[in-house]
Structure 1
């Protein structure tokens, strides 16, 4: 006869042994994960320190609200174009380089890098439209730039609606480069949403994300030195605290912009992607924005959202034609 008690004891011993092995495996995996995270963190810290030494300054630092804002100026034309970047652009003055090259023989081009962008300082001040507009204006005033065409890419188009109404005597015309529209708002982001993103950034995983991402500049008119500097500033600025604050503020900034419109007498040119990948209302909503404008135009390009990277010559030609007649 079999011994039930012996069999039970044997089974309990087997279960305990299996559990012991499973726990050892889990512990080993946990140690490997922690070692991996520690390695990513260490590599990121070392690489960041090295990249700081390899960063090449460009433009000039202007005092704004007790901090330093970087502004890049090119060209000697009689008319001035002030160029503002889209959300998250790591190094605006370098990113706009092909377009600047096309425009600078005809205009004075001023690229403002808002706080948290390019070589500008970070700021803890809320990224409301009012604050962003005020800071950009202060930078231009410091440089005694008081009459200009305002040109904005993406989300800066939203801020520009406020800007042209705040400073109508300074802005002679507005040009939107696939600029945001108040009625087509982004998804709402809250403070709780960005908590994990901060951990992701602080531990160094943003560097891995960029490493695994496709090269947005491949095949475009950027030299290798410029692309390397852009990559360095991508790793420096990606998910920084100022840009994350801007993301949280974006929804309310869209709401505020819904109450605004372009002054009827202000010449407005929209240069847009012809086929938006998400909405078929992209062009119609821009048409509504200039419905009451005395001098409003729309030009369409078969390009993606960063159309100034791939079509700088076409954009520059459209701008020259527009400004020749309207400003």
Structure 2
């Protein structure tokens, strides 16, 4: 006897019901996991907030607090600017600061959204970022200095030295960005980054990916502080807005060049496989410079984490050479 149409439908629907039930269970499990991660993230953030130790000092910029660390009392001043997304610039540069501060007055500016500085709703254009950094230095009555910057500070620094040429005595790039480097026209998934942070998934990924500071020379307390400040600042609204502006900021810098009379030295990665022509790009930036130099080093993008002694020594020697010629 042949099955009726109703029986056939029931037989066919059973596998479908199993699949749908499995999907529903999976969705519920994911939702529960995200809820747990979000709660854990919120509790951890609140707990860590109370353990973060203050450093440096606040200066008022555009009605908000910008954090600045000053170490050393040398006659010449070095102003350090961080790369994009560096959670705590003052701590991230600590190893280099300790090498420079016996000879120089070292000033680390933590832009809005970084370190212990406030966030801001103001657009993260190069113009605004540069103006705010300059205002912080003005508040501190610092008006003559070498600008030393990591990564994207090469873009902001290029604009800075042209706007405030009478204040900047030299520019030093630590694996600094170049306006014409390829791949900077990408559109970043900002909403995805914001979700990963708010949901707690980003904290989970950090925990399972291992300790990025484990093999570095920072003391344990500094490492722990950097981890907590990273959790506090990661993908905040201010730095996400800066990420949104990366493409336009790079494009806007393409018509700029460093003044040919400005002493210029770049410490860059010897083997950067991520950016085509990394060394020639920097050599092109110094080709018309009276005092220009490119030094390659074997290390990661964060050269100041491992080559801090070499950077300090070679910078000091370079400036002595410049001063002798002048």
Q: TM-score, normalised by structure 2?
A: 0.95
SS in 2 for 1:54: coil
Task: Name 1:168's counterpart in structure 2.
Answer: 165
For the aligned residue pairs, the C-alpha RMSD in angstroms reads 1.5
Whether 1:178 aligns to 2:175 is: yes
Paired with 1:239 and 1:170, the residues of 2 have a C-alpha distance of 33
Paired with 1:63 and 1:27, the residues of 2 have a C-alpha distance of 52
**Following superposition, which runs of at least 4 residues in structure 1 exceed 6 angstroms of deviation?**
none
1:305 to 287, 294, 301: 301
Task: Name 1:240's counterpart in structure 2.
Answer: 236
SS in 1 for 2:65: strand
Paired with 1:185 and 1:165, the residues of 2 have a C-alpha distance of 23
Paired with 2:113 and 2:182, the residues of 1 have a C-alpha distance of 22
Task: Name 1:129's counterpart in structure 2.
Answer: 126
Paired with 1:111 and 1:296, the residues of 2 have a C-alpha distance of 24
Task: Name 1:70's counterpart in structure 2.
Answer: 67
1:279 to 256, 275, 278: 275
Offset, 1:215: 2.4
Gaps of 5+ in 2: none
Mark the structure with the bigger radius of gyration.
1
Paired with 1:323 and 1:230, the residues of 2 have a C-alpha distance of 31
Offset, 1:189: 4.2
Gaps of 5+ in 1: none
Task: Name 2:156's counterpart in structure 1.
Answer: 159
Task: Name 2:322's counterpart in structure 1.
Answer: 326
Q: TM-score, normalised by structure 1?
A: 0.95
Post-superposition Cα deviations, 1:12-70, rounded to whole Å, max 9, x if no partner, equal 33334444343333222222111111001111111111011111111111110111111
SS in 2 for 1:134: helix
Task: Name 1:90's counterpart in structure 2.
Answer: 87
Post-superposition Cα deviations, 1:112-160, rounded to whole Å, max 9, x if no partner, equal 0101111111111111111000000000000111110100101001110
Q: How many residues align?
A: 323
Contact 1:75–1:104 under 8 Å retained in 2: yes
Paired with 1:180 and 1:218, the residues of 2 have a C-alpha distance of 26
Paired with 2:198 and 2:214, the residues of 1 have a C-alpha distance of 28
